[in-house]
Amino acid sequence: MRSTSCGGRARASGERGATVVEFLAVTILTVVCLLGIAQLAVWVWARNVAVTAVHEGARTAAETGRPLSDGSRRARDVLEDGLGSSSGSFTVDVAEDGGTVAVWARGTAPMIVPFLPAFPVEVEADAFDEDRVLR
């Protein structure tokens, strides 16, 4: 008598091991998706740190009696505090135009998945220069 534990039909010889192959395919796809989501989360985190850095740099450079280099230094410090050694991939630029101070940060997010392309981060912040406004 034949066993009916497989839903009442006998397994064909070509289907042996199909479950293992399907499990591996689904597992690999799941891991790749999770790594992609983790890399995206790192990009968002790096972008948020850069946004905070340029806002702090713009506010510092716009304060009364402070040179533009203080704003650049403050933005660089915030990047280093938030990103650690990955902050070395960022450049910080400061410019003054009329009564406005602008700070830019450009770089790439830290990579946790080596086979994905680098995710660029470019942010800018402006602030009114108090030295010009108060004249």
Segments of 8-135 assigned E as strands: 91-97, 100-108, 120-128
Q: Give the whole-angstrom CA distance, residue 50 versus residue 44.
A: 10
Q: What was the pLDDT predicted at 27?
A: 96
- Residue 117 counted as domain residue: yes
DSSP characters for 60-77? HHHSTT--HHHHHHHHHH
Mean pLDDT, each 10-residue run in order, the chain (135 residues): 54 73 94 92 96 96 91 96 93 92 95 87 93 70
- Please check whether residue 2 lies inside any domain of the structure: no
| Cβ proximity of 124 and 56 under 8 Å | no
The two three-digit tokens of residue 104, written as one number: 């830019």
Prediction pTM value: 0.79
pLDDT of residue 6: 55
- The number of residues making up the chain comes to 135
Is 121 contained in some domain?
Answer: yes
Taking the alpha carbons at both ends of the chain, their separation in whole angstroms is 101
What total of structural domains would you count in the chain? 1
**98 lies in which domain range?**
15-133
Strand partners, 97: 100
Distance CA(83)–CA(48), nearest Å, equals 10
Whether 1 maps to a domain, the answer reads: no
- For the chain, helix, strand, coil in percent to 5 are 55, 20, 25
